[in-house]
Amino acid sequence: MKKHPVIKKIIKRILLFVVVLFVLSLVAFCLARLAPGDPLQSFYGDKLDTMSEVEKQMARERLGLDSDILTQYGRWFVNALGGDFGLSFKYKMPVIDVVSPLIGNSLLLGVTAYIVIFVLATVLAVFCVLHEDKFIDKLICKVGTVLYYTPAFWLGVVLVLIFSINLGWLPSSGAYDVGKANDVGNRMIHMVLPLIVMIASHLWYYGYMIRNKLLDEVRKDYVLLAKSKGCTRREIVWKHCLRNVAPTIVSIMAISIPHVTGGTVVVESVFNYPGIGGLAVESAKYHDYNLLMVVVLITGAAVFAASFIAQTINEEIDPRMKEMGTIKW
């Protein structure tokens, strides 16, 4: 039976997705284990100092840390296929139970920041292009660059100092007050400062990229034709140029997921915001292998899914990308 090309493409991408996840898990697994340090430290804490060699050896056997890396990976892989991702050494409970309550918090913060960053970056970029080389454009560029280079942890601390300690307007840490997990307003108040830091430290990186892309675009010939039709500058930038830059923006958005996620790591630890960003740092620090694997797989899957979606969107915006694909090299 001849398959529909779209279905064929989707099957191909899903297969690719599986392969990528497999390779990612293998690499992450091996790298984590090759890093110096003792995972028993996170399991037993200070008690480790008083344990004898024999006890340590037995503990390793019990945790499955005694065999060589590939055997360990094989065991992990088989279990993972069955949905068992193992025990967190630090929390002493299944990693899924450690991660699942925190994913929601991270998603809320990450997705909100992500959307605000790109909407704001696009609007700012268009504004700058419309006022190219005027004072306001230069000012935005300078301020944006300074903000981008301001370290997130420093900005976080300063904001906490001003708004939480001196003014007392906003909470300094956490995702919600005790017992108010389902209170939307309470959650939003807790997100304000982390969001500001996230946005400030990423906004201009993308804004500047989009601005420069747009500046290339407004110098193209079709802009002259649009202008000689009688279009305004604003119409040209919004309707013509932005559409042509959109594939680039979407691609940047897709590959920026690790970047923005990386940002949440810092922000989550500064504001003590319970999320998987903080968990990733913790798991790496304490050699909590199983936890690390899950965090890596979740982020990896998110990045891959995003680039898949981006590719699909881009083909819709600019059909030339589909046509190009049919040319055999």
Kindly list the residues in this chain that would bind other proteins in the complex (CB under 8 A): 220-222, 224-232, 239-240, 243-244, 246, 317-320, 323
Tell the smallest beta-carbon distance from residue 257 to other proteins (Å): 25
Nearer to other proteins, 49 or 221 (CB): 221
Q: How many CB atoms lie within 10 A of CB 37?
A: 13
CA atoms of 146 and 165, how far apart (whole Å):
25
Is-contact 175 273, C-beta < 8 A?
A: yes
Looking at the DSSP bridge assignments, the partners of residue 94 are 87
Tell the smallest beta-carbon distance from residue 325 to other proteins (Å): 13
Tell the smallest beta-carbon distance from residue 223 to other proteins (Å): 9
Nearer to other proteins, 67 or 232 (CB): 232
Nearer to other proteins, 55 or 137 (CB): 137
Nearer to other proteins, 61 or 235 (CB): 235
**In this structure, what token pair is assigned to residue 304?**
């891959």
Is-contact 19 292, C-beta < 8 A?
A: no
CA atoms of 225 and 24, how far apart (whole Å):
48
Tell the smallest beta-carbon distance from residue 125 to other proteins (Å): 18
Tell the smallest beta-carbon distance from residue 318 to other proteins (Å): 5
The helix (run of H) or strand (run of E) holding residue 167 is none
Is-contact 102 275, C-beta < 8 A?
A: yes
Tell the smallest beta-carbon distance from residue 321 to other proteins (Å): 10
The alpha carbon dihedral of 301, 305, 310, 311 has a sign of positive
Nearer to other proteins, 149 or 222 (CB): 222
Is-contact 128 141, C-beta < 8 A?
A: yes
Is-contact 267 277, C-beta < 8 A?
A: yes
Nearer to other proteins, 217 or 288 (CB): 217
CA atoms of 18 and 251, how far apart (whole Å):
21
Tell the smallest beta-carbon distance from residue 229 to other proteins (Å): 4
Give the helix ranges, DSSP H, for 150-241: 152-159, 184-217, 221-229, 233-235
Phi-psi region of 31 (alpha: psi -120 to 50; beta: other; left: phi over 0): alpha
Residue with tokens 């984590």: 32
Tell the smallest beta-carbon distance from residue 317 to other proteins (Å): 6
Which one, of 267, 97, 257, lies nearest residue 197 by Cα? 267
Nearer to other proteins, 283 or 314 (CB): 314
Nearer to other proteins, 96 or 317 (CB): 317
